Amino acid sequence: MRDAQPESIYLKDYQAPHFVIEETHLRFDLFEDYAQVDSRLVMRRNREQHENVEAPLVLVGKQLELLAIAIDGVRLSDDEYLLEDELLTIHKVSDSFELEISNRIEPQNNTALEGLYKSGGMFCTQCEAEGFRRITYYLDRPDVMSIFTTEVIADKAKYPILLSNGNAIAQGDLENGRHSVSWHDPHRKPCYLFALVAGDLMVKEGSFMTMNGRKVELKIFVEPQNIDKTEYAMDALKRSMKWDEDKYGREYDLDIFMIVAVDDFNMGAMENKGLNIFNSSCVLANPQTATDASYLRIEAIVAHEYFHNWSGNRVTCRDWFQLSLKEGFTVYRDSQFTADMNSAAVKRIEDASIMRTVQFAEDAGPMAHPVQPDSFMEIANFYTVTIYEKGSEIVGMIHKLLGAKGFRKGSDLYFERHDGQAVTINEFVSAMEDANGTSLTQFKRWYKSAGTPVVNVESYYDSAAKTYTLTFNQSCDEPFLIPIELGLIGRNGQDINAELAAGLINKRDAYKKGIFQLTEKEQVLVFTDVKEEPVPSLLRDFSAPIKLNYDYSRDQLMFLMQHDSDGFNRWDAGQNLALDVIYEVMQQFSDGTQPKVDGRLITAYFSVLKRDDIDHAMLAKMLLLPSVSYIGETQDVIDILAINQARSYVQSVLAEALAEKLAELYKKLNVQQSYLPEPEQMAQRGLKNAALSYLLKTDHKKYCDLAVTQFENSDNMTDSMAALASMVNSGYKAQAESALESFYDKWQAEPLVVNQWLAVQAGSAEYGTIENINKLLEHEAFDIKNPNKVRSVIGAFAGQSLINFHALDGSGYQLLADKIILLNQLNPQIASRLVSPLSKWRRYVDSQAQQMKQQLQRIMAQNNLSKDVYEVVSKSLI
């Protein structure tokens, strides 16, 4: 237990700040055993919002050693201020004044990776959400925006590169081999967007000409050994800058844009103004070291951080309850970008899959929260799939409701109205409403309530009257406005252009351009003049983050797989068909009868393979069975072992049945070409490697030989890794063993490659056993202080090696809890995120649920639980 229970903070308690910080002048003197921070803040009372209040000045600071405070040049005596816990209160201040503070910190001992810390040989910062208070005393809240000037001083030989936000304005050499560089950022910003970097770095340079003819210098800073891995991120950055101009009319606003790659980072990347800091795994790539999947992630994250310059930095959040204002919108923007650069249908499938496996699970667990939460203990726990991905889905629904033009009008108005401000989600929605002269009052419910709405749909065809009726029922008594994109497909496979019955037309414009706006608890659509009974295609494009139930027959699903004009629903029909068959096999196993896979599933996959009008990327998606986690998510009580048994069985039956076709496909796609990270090649490799992994699920050793050959001859990481993974995830032990060994020999000097090597083992059924996980944790390549390594081993184990994590003896849960307890002290944010698999214990079969719960109780009983871990564990046990 903790000494004191952390308190919750409530949105309803929000108050405007009592003070404004006009200017922030910082000076950092960096040494190996401490850093001195001197700040000079030009401040005034916030008379606009607190006219007659004489509140004291209360600053926050965490783990700081205070040296001195002065106001208007006069040093304060001890009785003029109070320093307690994390608050520094200065009793008396006038209406405007300059505050100077000196303090020291120890970046070299900062393992939480928040504030100023060391990663390898460099200094770097991470301030979102509340990390700035670990640097100096400040009003660490996003609605306090200031003009920053920063001087960085350090040893010149060790740290030749000194960076901060904005433009470099001065530099010079000092005594003792030290040097200084000063930076000035002309844009007001909250302190969470502050950044500083000092290191021995090399730079990749580029430039971009903006739509108004301004030249922007682009710089990517990396450690010298990584300079050959910067080209792709540079290209992705230029594409992002152009896209944001074309699609949103947003131009970059400084003369320089910098990215820095660091190895130790809690998240993917951070959008600090003009100085983005990236987890090296989300920026560095070359064909030899990075897979296609990494390239795609890099493109998306570079874009995401760049897009934040407008959606997040120019217009920022009033308070952290509005986090989705910037994150939901920016994720939506980056998903549009990815859809434009690659296959839009495949991007939609991937986003929907994340929603349905991860976000729906969060919504059904103890940490469920609305996209705009109303309370939290530790904000770091709210960087979630709900805030990010569900937030993006909500913005996407607004796009669907307003249309592309209306949406653009709304975003233009939002940026114009709120440029330079810190605002709320409500203000975003108001801009969308005002620009379109429409009301989204009912729609806003999406932001305020947790949980996943369920919509049940029934159909009735009246062959005499030639009417087709769809009845929609939504689960929630206070109904949501749900945009449901739909179509009716006739026997010839074409969409029917059906008209609504007269009485329904114009009813709140309920059905327009294929989108039905469900607004009531129960609603009926009647289509007239329907000549034959159609097959309904519902929730096309995953038009809302809901669970939609309709009782399709297997034949109807096969029909949709063949004919639906909507790519997402074509894929989804295949998933539903496979799900249905897997459930049946699960039942057969549990009844003790001989399992039998419905031949229609095999027929359906055959016809998918035969089609040449589906692009490779889509085909690769259609070949994959629903994941174990997704299947689990569709069950009331989750039995991972039973799901895995049934799914594996279906997979091996499919593999045997399709083997010849898949081998042909593999051969056709396995062409010699020089590697390019572009969509067509990626799709081709993706499909080829999907075929390969199926082939290794058969008993024919000749297919394993294909993998061995590919592994030995490939000149790119995508094909090497895919071949390695296919061996690791199948029964070919000897081949897998020797491949793993030679892989490590070859790549041990490349940490990002070694991380993939760790993850492919830790996440597999064969190698992710407790015994092997313990070996990996002891391996020279592992480091508990590096979040990427933790994710590669512990994260992959608990998230992917599901049959081992859920081993019946509870050893998987125990291992995870041990690591959470260890990390609780070192890095609370990472520790807290690892709790997630245990936190959902109530969903599992009883024997497992009880063992998971016991581990949570064991964590709860620890001394010195961080706020982060305490919040998640205590909420899980309520």
Which of 305, 389, 564, 868 touches ligand PHE by CB under 6 A? Answer: 305
Closer to Zn ion by CB, 17 or 268: give it. Answer: 268
**CA separation for the pair 598, 602 (Å, rounded):** 8
Host H or E run for residue 663: helix 640-669
Give the number of other CB atoms < 10 A from CB of residue 636: 5
Nearer to ligand PHE, 129 or 758 (CB): 129
Query: Is residue 389 flagged as an active site residue?
Result: no
The closest of 302, 291, 223 to 263, measured between CA atoms, is 223
Nearer of residues 305 and 389 to ligand PHE, judged by Cβ: 305
SS3 336: helix
| Separation CA 786–CA 118 (nearest Å) | 12
Q: Cβ closer to ligand PHE: 197 or 717?
A: 197
Binding mask 319-338 for Zn ion (x = CB under 5 A): --------x--x--------
- In this structure, what token pair is assigned to residue 623? 């070949």
Separation of alpha carbons 78 and 721, rounded Å: 62
Instruction: Please enumerate in sequence order all residues whose Cβ is within 8 A of that of 14, keeping only pairs 6 or more positions apart, or say none.
Output: 318, 319, 321
Minimal distance in Å, beta carbon 381 to ligand PHE?
11
Which lies closer to ligand PHE via its Cβ, residue 327 or residue 541? 327
CB neighbour class for 780 (10 Å; exposed up to 12, middle 13-18, buried from 19): exposed
Is 383 a binding residue for ligand PHE by CB under 6 A? The answer is yes
267 is a site residue for ligand PHE (CB under 6 A): yes
Extract the tokens encoding 58: 């209360």
Q: Which stretch binds ligand PHE (CB under 6 A): 58-66, 121-129, 341-349, 865-873?
A: 121-129
CA dihedral 396, 398, 401, 403 (to 10 degrees): -70
d(Cα 798, Cα 810) in Å, to the nearest integer?
12
Q: Which of 128, 305, 433, 750 is catalytic?
A: 305
Return the range that interacts with ligand PHE (CB under 6 A); candidates 149-157, 269-277, 357-365, 435-443. Answer: 269-277
Binding flag, residue 299, ligand PHE (CB under 6 A): no
In the region spanning residues 271 to 290, those forming contacts with ligand PHE, defined by CB under 6 A, are: 271
Q: Which residues contact 823 (CB under 8 A, 6 or more apart)?
A: 784, 790, 830, 831, 834
| Cα–Cα distance, 317 to 326 (Å, whole number) | 7
Q: Which is nearer to Zn ion, 428 or 443 (CB)?
A: 428
Give the residue from 307, 284, 107 showing the smallest Cα distance to 196.
Answer: 107
Compose the 385-424 pattern: x for residues touching Zn ion by CB under 5 A, - for all others: ----------------------------------------
> Which of Zn ion, ligand PHE, none interacts with 240 (beta carbon under 5 to 8 A by kind)?
none
* Residue 195 engages ligand PHE in binding (rule: CB under 6 A): no
- Sheet strands side by side (includes 57-60): 57-60, 87-90, 81-84
Alpha-carbon dihedral sign for residues 814, 816, 822, 825 = negative
Q: Is 125 in the site for ligand PHE (CB under 6 A)?
A: no
Among 126, 436, 543, 839, binds ligand PHE (CB under 6 A): 126
Size of the site for ligand PHE (CB under 6 A): 12
Stretch that binds ligand PHE, among 126-134, 434-442, 632-640, 661-669 (CB under 6 A): 126-134
- The answer to the question of residue 400 lying near ligand PHE (CB under 6 A) is no
To ligand PHE, the closest distance from the beta carbon of 385 in angstroms equals 12
Binding segment (CB under 6 A) for ligand PHE, from list 84-92, 265-273, 654-662, 696-704: 265-273
Q: Do the bridges between strand 202-209 and strand 256-262 make them parallel or antiparallel, or are there none, so unpaired?
A: unpaired
Chosen residue from 100, 128, 151, 389 binding ligand PHE by CB under 6 A: 128
Torsion over CA: 775, 776, 778, 781 (sign): positive
The binder of ligand PHE chosen from 130, 143, 327, 750 (CB under 6 A): 327
Of 188, 273, 304, 356, the residue at the interface with ligand PHE (CB under 6 A) is 304
Radius of gyration of the chain (CA): 28
Q: Which residue has the tokens 């540079």?
A: 234
Contact between residue 336 and residue 344 where contact means Cβ atoms under 8 Å apart: no
| Cβ-based nearer residue to ligand PHE, 129 or 625 | 129
Q: Is 792 in the site for ligand PHE (CB under 6 A)?
A: no
Residue 267's binding partner, choosing from ligand PHE, Zn ion, none, with beta-carbon cut-off 5 to 8 A by kind? ligand PHE
* Minimum distance, C-beta of residue 659 to ligand PHE, in the bound complex (Å): 43
Residue among 128 and 485 whose Cβ is closer to ligand PHE: 128
Closest CA to 567 of 620, 517, 614, 616: 614
Q: Return the one option of Zn ion, ligand PHE, none that residue 270 interacts with (CB less than 5 to 8 A, by type).
A: ligand PHE
Number of residues that bind Zn ion (CB under 5 A): 2
Question: What b/e string do you get for 728-748 counting C-beta neighbours within 10 Å, with b at 16 or more?
Answer: bbbebeebbeebbeebbeebe
> Taking CB under 6 A as the rule, does residue 379 contact ligand PHE?
no
Amino acid, res. 82 = L
The answer to whether the CB of 801 falls within 8 A of the CB of 762 is yes
Q: What is the smallest separation between the CB atom of 597 and Zn ion, expressed in angstroms? A: 43
Closer to ligand PHE by CB, 548 or 834: give it: 834
Cβ burial, residue 645 (10 Å; 0-12/13-18/19+): middle
Q: Give min distance, CB of 323 to ligand PHE, in A.
A: 9
Contacts with Zn ion by CB under 5 A lie at 327, 330
- Enumerate binding residues for ligand PHE (CB under 6 A): 126, 128-129, 266-267, 269-271, 304-305, 327, 383
- Point out the residues that are catalytic: 305
